[in-house]
Amino acid sequence: MRTGPEIVVVLGLLLAAGHAGAAGSGGDAWQGEAEESGNSDPFAGFDDEDWDDPWAARGGGLSWSGFVEGGLGARWNSVDNLDRLTLGDVRVRAETRYDHGAFRVDFKGDLLWDEVVEDLDAQLRELAASFSPASNVDMKLGRQVLTWGTGDLLFLNDLFPKDFISFFAGRDEDYLKSPSDTARVSGFTGPVNIDLAYTPRFTPDDYLYGERFAFWNPALGEVAAPARPRRAEEPTNGELALRLFRTVGATEYAIYGYRGRWKQPVGVDDAGMPRFPRLQSWGASMRMPLHKGLFNTEAAYYDSRDDRSGDDPRTPNSEFRLLAGYEQELVRNLTAGTQLYAERIMHHDRLVANSIDPDRERDRWRTVTTLRLTYRALQDTLTSSLFVFVSPSDEDFYLRPSIAWRRDDHWLLAAGLNLFGGSDEHTFFGQLEDNSNGWLRLRYNY
């Protein structure tokens, strides 16, 4: 059980439960999640917030919404030190807003029983105050989910924390984006708009470390789940992210900067333990209408500050990343989106020359193609989706089919698969082949 600010979640859930009991069947219509996403979502038709009057008081109190959800998932194959169960959630969400003129407070909290790790966890998804100290300046302070960039499930300049464990286990796609305790300042001027996000304490991704999924362990030379999973020690340094953006006509332009650390422990210290090396990045993106759809492109340079020469095998080399994507409705209710993505490792020859296992080092270029197909039927109450990742360079893949049925404003049933495979077990998707799983979720929205 987490302590500290998560106690706010418990208080919020108690207040929400009281509101739901008082409202009964005459309460709010279904309210889904609306975490700031930035990417198309196969369940987007079900997850949009529908606040008729979010600031309206009920009986002198706040207006609460949320959901109760159960989730179950299991892998096909047995893995040493791991159970077949990959998802065993009972989750209660409560959320509300308080508005007083130019000042607003947003709250979203979850109480989660996770059967996989047999733990009850209070999770504070959002508790942030928003206000405008000047007519062209907005501020948001506190725990919040942040995102920017143009990729669909591919992140170049979005270096805010991600929860890949939830994503691979079959939780709602919104949970891929993790919250952080951040101060965000947005300035709106004529020539250019500015976003500045400062996180006083580094917030990493929720990465694979062996608690729920097996992964490639270079020290052992095999895919394994450690008998005693342990996360890497997290640095206490802060992070700073910058975005300059502007819309000219129908085209959106943006420039990005970041100074912090790699979001996963991709380095190794002198004792052989994983660590988070220092990182700064620069990038740019563009999004515009093209033909009957929407085109986007993005680039980023990752400056690995602890190994700019590229000859330290314990630290990742600098990288250059590129993305181009296009999305269009092919026929009525059927939308397709595709992306081409590439990573180029700088000083690759030095990486190979100094590696203790050069045969298993990544290629100079890693390429990935994606395809998302989304079909909506039965007056948008039934949504079928397929997301495909294929890496020609790594010869591996990840398939993510799903289907969701909304019975009414309250009930939502969703199911899907996470299918991994590859020629080599040390590649990103190839290492996850034995973690392939199916999942099912049932949600009641109040």
pLDDT, position 3? 47
pLDDT, position 59? 42
Sequence-ordered list of residues with C-beta below 8 angstroms from that of 208, at least 6 positions apart, any chain: 164, 165, 215
Q: pLDDT digit of tens for each residue in the chain (446 aa)?
A: 444 566 777 666 766 665 665 555 444 433 443 444 444 444 444 444 444 444 444 444 689 999 999 999 999 999 999 999 999 999 999 999 999 988 999 999 999 999 999 999 999 999 999 999 999 999 999 999 999 999 999 999 999 999 999 999 999 999 999 999 999 999 999 899 999 999 999 999 999 999 999 999 888 889 999 988 889 999 999 999 999 999 999 999 999 999 999 999 999 998 889 999 999 999 999 999 999 999 999 999 999 999 999 999 999 999 999 999 999 999 999 999 999 999 999 999 999 999 988 989 999 999 999 999 999 999 999 999 999 999 999 999 999 999 999 999 999 999 999 999 999 999 999 999 999 999 999 999 99
pLDDT, position 231? 92
Give the other-Cβ count within 10 Å of 372's Cβ.
22
DSSP string, 122-163: EEEEEEEEEEEEETTEEEEEEEE----SS-SS--SS--S-BB
45, 413 Cβ separation under 8 angstroms: no
Structure tokens at 167: 């994503």
SS3 433: helix
Q: How far apart are the first and last CA of the chain?
A: 26
SS3 246: strand
CATH number of 4-445: 2.40.160.10
Phi, psi of 429 (to 5 degrees): -85, -30
pLDDT, position 21? 55
Every domain of the chain and the residues it spans: 4-445
How many residues are present in the chain? 446
Cα separation, 421 vs 439, whole angstroms? 18
385, 373 Cβ separation under 8 angstroms: yes
Cα separation, 108 vs 87, whole angstroms? 22
